[in-house]
Protein backbone atom coordinates (compact mmCIF):
# COMPACT_ATOMS: atom_id res chain seq x y z
CA UNK A 1 0.00 0.00 0.00
CA UNK A 2 2.84 2.40 0.85
CA UNK A 3 4.35 1.69 -2.54
CA UNK A 4 1.07 2.59 -4.24
CA UNK A 5 0.79 5.82 -2.29
CA UNK A 6 4.38 6.70 -3.08
CA UNK A 7 3.72 6.05 -6.76
CA UNK A 8 0.55 8.12 -6.71
CA UNK A 9 2.14 11.14 -5.09
CA UNK A 10 5.35 10.84 -7.03
CA UNK A 11 5.21 13.50 -9.70
CA UNK A 12 7.66 11.72 -11.90
CA UNK A 13 6.87 11.69 -15.58
CA UNK A 14 8.02 8.17 -16.24
CA UNK A 15 5.50 6.01 -18.08
CA UNK A 16 5.73 3.35 -15.40
CA UNK A 17 4.70 5.77 -12.68
CA UNK A 18 1.96 7.18 -14.88
CA UNK A 19 0.52 3.71 -15.42
CA UNK A 20 0.79 2.88 -11.71
CA UNK A 21 -0.96 6.10 -10.78
CA UNK A 22 -3.76 5.41 -13.31
CA UNK A 23 -4.10 1.80 -12.15
CA UNK A 24 -4.32 2.86 -8.52
CA UNK A 25 -6.99 5.49 -9.28
CA UNK A 26 -8.90 3.02 -11.45
CA UNK A 27 -8.92 0.35 -8.74
CA UNK A 28 -9.80 2.86 -6.05
CA UNK A 29 -12.78 4.12 -8.04
CA UNK A 30 -13.91 0.56 -8.71
CA UNK A 31 -13.74 -0.27 -4.99
CA UNK A 32 -15.70 2.89 -4.11
CA UNK A 33 -18.31 2.06 -6.73
CA UNK A 34 -18.74 -1.48 -5.44
CA UNK A 35 -18.90 -0.27 -1.85
CA UNK A 36 -21.58 2.25 -2.81
CA UNK A 37 -23.62 -0.40 -4.62
CA UNK A 38 -23.38 -2.71 -1.61
CA UNK A 39 -24.51 0.08 0.72
CA UNK A 40 -27.48 0.74 -1.55
CA UNK A 41 -28.55 -2.89 -1.63
CA UNK A 42 -26.69 -3.99 -4.76
CA UNK A 43 -27.13 -2.91 -8.32
CA UNK A 44 -29.83 -5.35 -9.35
CA UNK A 45 -32.67 -4.24 -7.09
CA UNK A 46 -35.99 -3.63 -8.80
CA UNK A 47 -37.40 -1.68 -5.89
CA UNK A 48 -37.86 -1.94 -2.18
CA UNK A 49 -37.81 -5.38 -0.66
CA UNK A 50 -41.31 -6.74 0.01
CA UNK A 51 -42.43 -6.95 3.60
CA UNK A 52 -41.20 -10.40 4.71
CA UNK A 53 -44.26 -10.88 6.90
CA UNK A 54 -47.19 -9.08 5.26
CA UNK A 55 -50.31 -9.13 7.40
CA UNK A 56 -53.26 -9.55 5.02
CA UNK A 57 -55.55 -10.34 7.93
CA UNK A 58 -57.64 -7.33 8.94
CA UNK A 59 -57.53 -6.19 12.52
CA UNK A 60 -60.07 -8.42 14.31
CA UNK A 61 -60.69 -5.67 16.87
CA UNK A 62 -61.83 -3.24 14.18
CA UNK A 63 -65.48 -3.67 13.23
CA UNK A 64 -66.23 -4.18 9.56
CA UNK A 65 -66.99 -0.82 7.99
CA UNK A 66 -69.63 -0.34 5.33
CA UNK A 67 -67.76 2.51 3.63
CA UNK A 68 -64.27 0.96 3.88
CA UNK A 69 -65.02 -2.76 3.49
CA UNK A 70 -68.51 -3.51 2.19
CA UNK A 71 -69.22 -0.75 -0.35
CA UNK A 72 -65.97 -1.51 -2.24
CA UNK A 73 -67.05 -5.17 -2.48
CA UNK A 74 -70.49 -4.18 -3.78
CA UNK A 75 -69.07 -1.56 -6.16
CA UNK A 76 -66.36 -3.81 -7.55
CA UNK A 77 -68.54 -6.87 -8.05
CA UNK A 78 -72.19 -5.89 -8.22
CA UNK A 79 -72.79 -2.33 -9.38
CA UNK A 80 -70.06 -1.76 -11.97
CA UNK A 81 -71.24 -4.84 -13.85
CA UNK A 82 -74.45 -2.94 -14.58
CA UNK A 83 -76.68 -5.34 -12.68
CA UNK A 84 -77.34 -3.90 -9.23
CA UNK A 85 -76.82 -0.20 -9.84
CA UNK A 86 -79.37 2.59 -9.44
CA UNK A 87 -80.45 2.41 -13.09
CA UNK A 88 -80.79 -1.35 -13.54
CA UNK A 89 -81.73 -2.66 -10.09
CA UNK A 90 -81.77 -6.23 -11.38
CA UNK A 91 -84.26 -8.33 -9.36
CA UNK A 92 -85.04 -5.26 -7.23
CA UNK A 93 -81.51 -4.99 -5.84
CA UNK A 94 -79.56 -1.72 -5.76
CA UNK A 95 -76.16 -1.85 -4.06
CA UNK A 96 -74.88 1.63 -4.90
CA UNK A 97 -75.24 3.04 -1.39
CA UNK A 98 -75.95 2.06 2.20
CA UNK A 99 -79.61 3.19 2.07
CA UNK A 100 -80.20 1.56 -1.30
CA UNK A 101 -78.73 -1.75 -0.12
CA UNK A 102 -80.72 -1.85 3.12
CA UNK A 103 -83.96 -0.92 1.33
CA UNK A 104 -83.56 -3.38 -1.55
CA UNK A 105 -86.28 -6.02 -1.71
CA UNK A 106 -85.10 -9.09 -3.58
CA UNK A 107 -87.84 -10.03 -6.04
CA UNK A 108 -86.96 -13.72 -5.87
CA UNK A 109 -87.02 -13.81 -2.05
CA UNK A 110 -89.79 -11.26 -1.51
CA UNK A 111 -87.95 -9.60 1.39
CA UNK A 112 -85.12 -7.21 2.18
CA UNK A 113 -81.84 -8.68 1.01
CA UNK A 114 -80.11 -7.60 4.24
CA UNK A 115 -81.53 -8.50 7.65
CA UNK A 116 -79.34 -6.51 10.09
CA UNK A 117 -78.10 -8.80 12.84
CA UNK A 118 -78.88 -12.04 10.97
CA UNK A 119 -76.72 -13.12 8.05
CA UNK A 120 -78.57 -16.47 7.99
CA UNK A 121 -81.82 -14.60 7.19
CA UNK A 122 -80.19 -12.30 4.63
CA UNK A 123 -80.80 -13.35 1.02
CA UNK A 124 -77.67 -11.54 -0.12
CA UNK A 125 -75.56 -14.00 1.90
CA UNK A 126 -77.38 -16.93 0.29
CA UNK A 127 -76.68 -15.46 -3.16
CA UNK A 128 -72.97 -14.75 -2.62
CA UNK A 129 -71.96 -17.76 -0.53
CA UNK A 130 -73.83 -20.73 -1.97
CA UNK A 131 -73.04 -22.40 -5.26
CA UNK A 132 -76.76 -23.21 -5.55
CA UNK A 133 -78.69 -20.52 -3.69
CA UNK A 134 -82.36 -21.00 -2.75
CA UNK A 135 -83.42 -18.89 -5.77
CA UNK A 136 -81.62 -18.14 -9.01
CA UNK A 137 -77.88 -18.32 -9.45
CA UNK A 138 -74.83 -17.49 -7.39
CA UNK A 139 -73.76 -13.86 -7.51
CA UNK A 140 -71.94 -12.17 -9.04
CA UNK A 141 -73.44 -13.71 -12.15
CA UNK A 142 -70.98 -14.90 -14.82
CA UNK A 143 -68.02 -13.65 -12.80
CA UNK A 144 -65.63 -15.08 -10.23
CA UNK A 145 -67.35 -15.69 -6.90
CA UNK A 146 -66.44 -13.38 -4.06
CA UNK A 147 -63.42 -14.50 -2.07
CA UNK A 148 -63.91 -16.16 1.30
CA UNK A 149 -62.54 -13.00 2.94
CA UNK A 150 -65.10 -10.82 1.11
CA UNK A 151 -67.96 -13.14 2.06
CA UNK A 152 -66.73 -13.22 5.66
CA UNK A 153 -66.69 -9.41 5.72
CA UNK A 154 -70.28 -9.18 4.45
CA UNK A 155 -71.42 -11.81 6.98
CA UNK A 156 -69.60 -10.09 9.87
CA UNK A 157 -71.01 -6.69 8.88
CA UNK A 158 -74.58 -8.02 8.76
CA UNK A 159 -74.19 -9.98 12.01
CA UNK A 160 -72.91 -6.79 13.64
CA UNK A 161 -76.21 -5.10 12.76
CA UNK A 162 -75.21 -3.79 9.31
CA UNK A 163 -74.13 -0.38 10.65
CA UNK A 164 -73.69 2.63 8.39
CA UNK A 165 -70.06 3.22 9.33
Domains of the chain, residue spans: 2-39, 66-159
pTM more than 0.85 = no
Q: Is residue 102 packed enough to be buried (19+ CB in 10 Å), middle (13-18) or exposed (0-12)?
A: middle
Where do runs of H (alpha helix) occur along 64-131? 71-74, 98-103, 123-129
Where do runs of H (alpha helix) occur along the chain? 2-9, 15-39, 71-74, 98-103, 123-129, 148-159
Cα separation, 25 vs 18, in Å, equals 11
Can you give the pLDDT of all 165 residues of the chain as single tens digits?
Answer: 555 445 444 544 444 444 555 455 555 544 544 444 444 444 444 444 444 443 345 566 789 999 999 999 999 999 988 899 999 999 999 999 999 999 999 999 999 999 999 999 999 999 999 999 999 999 999 999 999 999 999 999 999 999 999
Whats the size of the chain, residue-wise? 165
At how many degrees (to 10) do helices 2-9 and 15-39 cross? 120
Amino acid sequence: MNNLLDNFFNRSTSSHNHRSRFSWIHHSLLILLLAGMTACGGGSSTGPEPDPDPDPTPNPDRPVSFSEDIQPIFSGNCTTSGCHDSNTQESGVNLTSYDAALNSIGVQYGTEIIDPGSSSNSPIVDKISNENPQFGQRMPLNRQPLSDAEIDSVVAWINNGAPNN
